[in-house]
Structure 1
Amino acid sequence: MTGFGFADLPGAVLDEGVVAHYGGPMREQRRLLSGDAVALLGDRTVIEVAGPDRLTWLDSFTSQATTRLAPGESSELLILDPQGHVEHAAGIVDDGASAWLIVDVADSEALLGWLKRMVFRSQVTVEIHCDRALVGFFAGGSAETALAGALVWADPWENVQVGGHQYADVAEHPATGYAWRIAILDTEAAASLADSVEAAGLLAAEALRIAAWRPRWASEVDERSLPHETDWIRSAVHLNKGCYRGQETVAKVHNLGHPPRRLAALQLDGSDDVLPAPGSPVFAGEAEVGRVTSVARHHEDGPIALAILSRRAPDGDLIVRADGVDIAAAQQVIVPADAGATADIPKLTRLSRRR
């Protein structure tokens, strides 16, 4: 995959073909968060869905109400299997002629093939654009100014979307202020940007994502994943839209509550300077209760992680085992064990007491 000029910048350190950092991941996090740096997202690509039927077509089989999207408006969608498990995930922004789907590279070919098989008689075309650069940045700084006029996807994770539902029972969600954007650029525009704006690596972007509790297909999804387990109902599912594959399970788990697993945030003990790899097991005492899905070193919080746990995992401190080393992990519950519509009244009562 081409580096669009970013891989040639001084200090660039590549990992599996993508720029991991430029020698200062912590500084790069701070510059990204300030809005004054951009990150080439070499582990993502874009699929263009063109044609007059594109939004109604996507609406018919995805979890999102895409027919409501106006030109320039962004959203997020999931494609579920008949049992409601997450198969594919994408950000979506429509430009008035095409809907652009931002996807993880590892899922792009499978998603492209699935979409092409679903065309039938609809007036749509589907094409992957590996020649487009996806550049991430935070709104409100010089990066946004430099990208004025570009087609930009605004991550909806910052707020609960229309038709969505937040399971995290917190007074203030860490996604508040997570004004993450992704610009879709051609080769020339990307090369010009690389020469004019400060660059950050993927390690910085991932650390900020994890700190915001933001799920991602490449990290938090496996063959058993339900959108409820990662609080993805918040941004990627419209609970009141028409029928789509997997909707019955989405409604059932939401209305009855108690998804089988739940996402948690972990604050890791950094005294041994050991960072667990994704997939590392998580224990409560001697019982294995889940696995780490994403991990990073954060510029303020130190070593942090996201983990998928059994619904029956206790709420207290846990242990992450990495290469034979036990790492203490303070847990913050993201998705409660009783998450769902059945927990709404107690949640509202608790929030009102806080006020």
Structure 2
Amino acid sequence: MSRSPILTRHSEGGAVAGPGEFHSSETPWHFGDPLGEQRAAATGVIVVDRSDRAVIEIPGEERLSWLHTISSQHIAALPDRRSAENLSLDANGRVEEHFVMTDIDGITWVDTEGARGEALAGFLAKMVFWAKAQPAPRTDMRVLTLVGPGAVTGPVAELLEIPADADVYQAGNLPETHHEDEPLGFWRRMPPLGENRDLPVVDLVLPEYVLLRWWDALVEAGARMAGSWAYDALRVAARRPRLGADTDERTIPHEVDWIGGPADQGAVHLDKGCYRGQETVARVHNLGKSPRRLVLLHLDGSSDQRPTTGDPVTAAGRTVGRLGTVIDHYEWGPIALALVKRNVGADVELTIGTEEPVSARIDPDSIREDDRVQAGRAAVERLRSGSVTPGS
């Protein structure tokens, strides 16, 4: 992507660009007070420039039924002005793409990580065949994100005309920005962030030529300018993973809590079949458990050095996981997400990295034990015990 107009405008007034890779150098990382920007979201509302997101437009009368057949989410009958999270898996059930989709006024809008935009657009174009759907990249579209209670109540919500009873994944046109030829922007509610997952989130997807106009209007209405540092800190605290940063080439959906339909704020609907990778999803859900799980780590903050995304997580000299997003939180200090082996408990002493090792511990509240009786496993046990006759 090109440099965001917001970063260009504010670079001499305190905006600092991200250091690159998972912290985009083309958008603001912070505006001089990254911890204060996070704190502002707890009681008010912040606005974050996420113009590094890639946006794809999909018109066509068969767009939803077609997407339904090639992805993990149940969206064949997705209502107008609703959103969902979705995945593309490989044949072994490993995550290749994660994207958010919103259907509004006869068009499905898809957005994903900027680094994956070209690959996702290419995959969608390749899979159209005879379907009446025309996926096309929209390099002129940008994403802004509001976080905090003021995103859904008060002057900012009134400016956007968000109904007081709007729920997660509900969407609507931005006021006075619907041209008769094409929509010129929409808002959508997303799953909440923060350590208690109680901070409302609203995305705005809009053309670049109205980006600064909306940015100014939101700030005038009371939103505080914030960088991607604040957004990522609140995301990590909520244990919400990011494709590429918190996943690797082996990640399956169960490991990162992407299981569930839109009502569960997931990306893989368990009552849906006939998509690539579905066999692995069903097998893990019915018979086993994922080999790894996503956890929140608290890092030793005594050093100014921070480990790097992708560093190995070790216990007693043995590699037990992979480090994901690393960020400084305004209350907790340095924290990170990590994929660790399922048998690693919260009491295990961990070390991150090799050259300058950093000690870490797992936040026990981030470990979610799955104690349900799996249908497939229960059936196997009944067969073994002789309580069920095979074939009955």
TM-score (norm: length of structure 2):
0.78
Distance 1:310 1:303, change over 3 A: same
The structure whose RCO (Cα within 8 Å, separation 6+) is larger is 1
What residue is the counterpart of 2:374 in the other structure? 342
What residue is the counterpart of 1:134 in the other structure? 143
1:223 aligned partner, one-letter code = E
What residue is the counterpart of 1:351 in the other structure? none
Distance in 1 (alpha carbons) for counterparts of 2:129 and 2:327: 43
* Cα contact 1:258–1:340 (8 A) shared by 2: no
What residue is the counterpart of 1:283 in the other structure? 314
Secondary structure (helix, strand or coil) at the match of 1:107 reads helix
* Cα contact 1:276–1:320 (8 A) shared by 2: no
Distance 1:226 1:48, change over 3 A: same
Distance in 1 (alpha carbons) for counterparts of 2:351 and 2:371: 24
Alignment RMSD, CA only?
2.4
- Once the 2 structures are TM-superposed, how far is the Cα of residue 127 of structure 1 from its aligned partner? 1.2
What residue is the counterpart of 1:8 in the other structure? 9
- What pairs with 1:77-226 in structure 2 (closer than 5 Å)? 77-138=86-147, 139-141=151-153, 142-148=155-161, 149-150=173-174, 151-156=186-191, 174=195, 176-196=197-217, 197=219, 198-226=224-252
**Aligned pair partner of 1:247 in 266, 275, 278:** 278
Distance 1:92 1:34, change over 3 A: farther
Distance in 1 (alpha carbons) for counterparts of 2:283 and 2:146: 37
2:38 aligned partner, one-letter code = Q
Distance in 2 (alpha carbons) for counterparts of 1:340 and 1:60: 29
Distance in 1 (alpha carbons) for counterparts of 2:85 and 2:4: 26
Distance in 1 (alpha carbons) for counterparts of 2:132 and 2:301: 54
Distance in 2 (alpha carbons) for counterparts of 1:244 and 1:319: 38
* Cα contact 1:146–1:193 (8 A) shared by 2: no
Distance in 2 (alpha carbons) for counterparts of 1:113 and 1:335: 37
TM-score (norm: length of structure 1):
0.86
- Once the 2 structures are TM-superposed, how far is the Cα of residue 37 of structure 1 from its aligned partner? 2.1
Deviations, residues 251-298 of structure 1 (Å, cap 9, x unaligned):
101111321111111011212233211112211122121121111111
What residue is the counterpart of 1:29 in the other structure? 38
Matched residue pairs, number? 331
Secondary structure (helix, strand or coil) at the match of 1:125 reads coil
What residue is the counterpart of 1:348 in the other structure? none
Secondary structure (helix, strand or coil) at the match of 2:87 reads strand
* Cα contact 1:51–1:97 (8 A) shared by 2: yes
Does residue 253 of structure 2 align to residue 231 of structure 1?
Answer: no
Aligned-residue identity in percent: 37
Contiguous gaps of at least 5 residues in structure 1: 159-172, 346-355
For the pair shown, which has the larger CA radius of gyration, 1 or 2?
2
- Once the 2 structures are TM-superposed, how far is the Cα of residue 310 of structure 1 from its aligned partner? 1.9
Deviations, residues 190-220 of structure 1 (Å, cap 9, x unaligned):
1112323132111111111000000111312
After TM superposition, the structure 1 stretch with the greater mean CA deviation from structure 2, 280-289 or 308-317, is 308-317
2:233 aligned partner, one-letter code = A
Secondary structure (helix, strand or coil) at the match of 1:119 reads coil
Deviations, residues 173-206 of structure 1 (Å, cap 9, x unaligned):
9463242221101123211123231321111111
- Once the 2 structures are TM-superposed, how far is the Cα of residue 143 of structure 1 from its aligned partner? 3.8
Deviations, residues 127-186 of structure 1 (Å, cap 9, x unaligned):
11121110011232544344344212322467xxxxxxxxxxxxxx94632422211011
Deviations, residues 56-78 of structure 1 (Å, cap 9, x unaligned):
11111111011232111111000
Distance in 2 (alpha carbons) for counterparts of 1:7 and 1:204: 19
- Once the 2 structures are TM-superposed, how far is the Cα of residue 299 of structure 1 from its aligned partner? 1.1
1:296 aligned partner, one-letter code = I
